[in-house]
C-alpha cells in the first residue's frame, strides 16, 4: 500500500461505513447474543478506523474531508 492520504482517507471512511451498517443490522436483530455480536463488530470497525486515523497523523499524512476524524 502506498502511503498516500487518499488511501488512508478511503479506508477510514469505508471502515466507519461498515460500522454504521453493522449497527443498523444489530438494531433489527431480536436475538440478544446476535445483536450484541453485531454491536461489537461495529465497535471493532470503528477501532480499526481510529487506528488508521492515528497512523495517518503519526505519518503526517493530511486527511482532508472525512467528517469523523475527531481524536
- Listed by start position, the domains of the chain span 5-24+31-58
Closest Cα partner for 13 from 54, 71, 65, 62?
A: 65
CA angle (66 as vertex; 24, 70 as ends), nearest 5: 85
Length, in residues, of the chain = 71
pTM of the model: 0.75
pLDDT for residue 11 is more than 50 = yes
pLDDT tens per residue across span 13-71: 999 999 999 999 999 999 999 999 999 999 999 999 999 988 888 877 555 554 554 44
Q: How far is CA 62 from CA 8, 29, 31, 35, 68, in A?
A: 9, 38, 42, 36, 14
Q: What are phi and psi of 67, to 5 degrees?
A: -75, -15
Amino acid at each position: 500500500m502506498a502511503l498516500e492520504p487518499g488511501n488512508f482517507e478511503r479506508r477510514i471512511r469505508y471502515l466507519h461505513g461498515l460500522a454504521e451498517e453493522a449497527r443498523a443490522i444489530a438494531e433489527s436483530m431480536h436475538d440478544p447474543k446476535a445483536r450484541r455480536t453485531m454491536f461489537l463488530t461495529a465497535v471493532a470497525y470503528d477501532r480499526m478506523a481510529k487506528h488508521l486515523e492515528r497512523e495517518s497523523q503519526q505519518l503526517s499524512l493530511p486527511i482532508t474531508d472525512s467528517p469523523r476524524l475527531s481524536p
